[in-house]
Structure 1
Amino acid sequence: MNDSPGCPLTDVAATYMPRLSEIPSEPGLAAAVDQHAAAVRDALIPARRGSRNRAVRREELADYVLGFTDWLSRVDWTEPSGHDFATLRLTAVCWLIREHDLLDA
């Protein structure tokens, strides 16, 4: 999988990665993003829950993002100015992208 402009990880990172800069000034946001990142990680690697080897694979995260953003479009979701479930989840995806260096893989 390459990082072409149509890559779901590239698209999400371009839109939601800037929200990670808000985390240091908002402890509640840090906790929420951490919880969402854990939920995504658990959804991707349920058999390894609790394991120390919790690496997120790029292709699996891209598939997750495609499914999640497809659902958002089906429910006519629009991004709010604050943080709702979807923005927290997409911000957590960006945290995983950054943490696991998935755009440069």
Structure 2
Amino acid sequence: MNDSPGCPLVGVAAAYMSRLSEFSFEPGLVAAVDQHAAAVRDALVVPAQRRPSDVPDGRSSVRREDLSDYVLGFTDRLSAVDWVEPVGHDFATLRLTAICWLIREYDLLDA
């Protein structure tokens, strides 16, 4: 695992990766996180990469640098509105959990 202090993905993964274990207890959570992951992926992947024929396994790739930039912007916005993590799931926790899913899915913490 890359423990670079400048990488915002490390902090998000440390704080929210454990929420992925809730998938087996809350089936609706899987769908919600999947929708958030798709929205983040769509925001990051350039249109040419969205065509399945251009990607060997048929999936678009998410780059570590792009997701890091996204996380910085997202968490800055949460700080600006004084967001506090609630019990349960709100938009922000679903989005942060989806980011963890993308980190795991694309192996973005391994150098």
Common topology (TM > 0.5): yes
Instruction: Please tell me whether residue 16 in structure 1 is matched to residue 16 in structure 2.
Output: yes
CA distance in 2, matches of 1:34, 1:94: 11
**Percent identity between the two aligned chains:** 74
Moved beyond 4 Å, runs of 4+: none
Instruction: Please tell me whether residue 29 in structure 1 is matched to residue 42 in structure 2.
Output: no
Partner of 1:38: 38
Instruction: Please tell me whether residue 97 in structure 1 is matched to residue 103 in structure 2.
Output: yes
- Matched pairs, number: 104
What letter matches 2:33 in structure 1? V
The 8 Å contact of residues 42 and 49 in structure 1, kept in 2 or not, is answered as: no
CA distance in 2, matches of 1:87, 1:57: 21
Secondary structure at the residue paired with 1:83? Answer: coil
Q: Which has the larger radius of gyration?
A: 2
CA distance in 1, matches of 2:65, 2:86: 28
- When the two chains are superposed, the root-mean-square deviation of aligned CA atoms in Å is 1.4
Runs (5+) with no aligned partner, structure 1: none
TM-score (norm 2): 0.88
C-alpha deviation, 1:12, in angstroms:
0.0
Partner of 1:7: 7
Partner of 1:86: 92
Which range moved further: 48-57 or 7-16? 48-57
Deviations 1:16-69 (A, max 9, x none): 000000012211000000000000000001414742230100000000000000
The 8 Å contact of residues 49 and 61 in structure 2, kept in 1 or not, is answered as: no
Instruction: Please tell me whether residue 75 in structure 1 is matched to residue 75 in structure 2.
Output: no
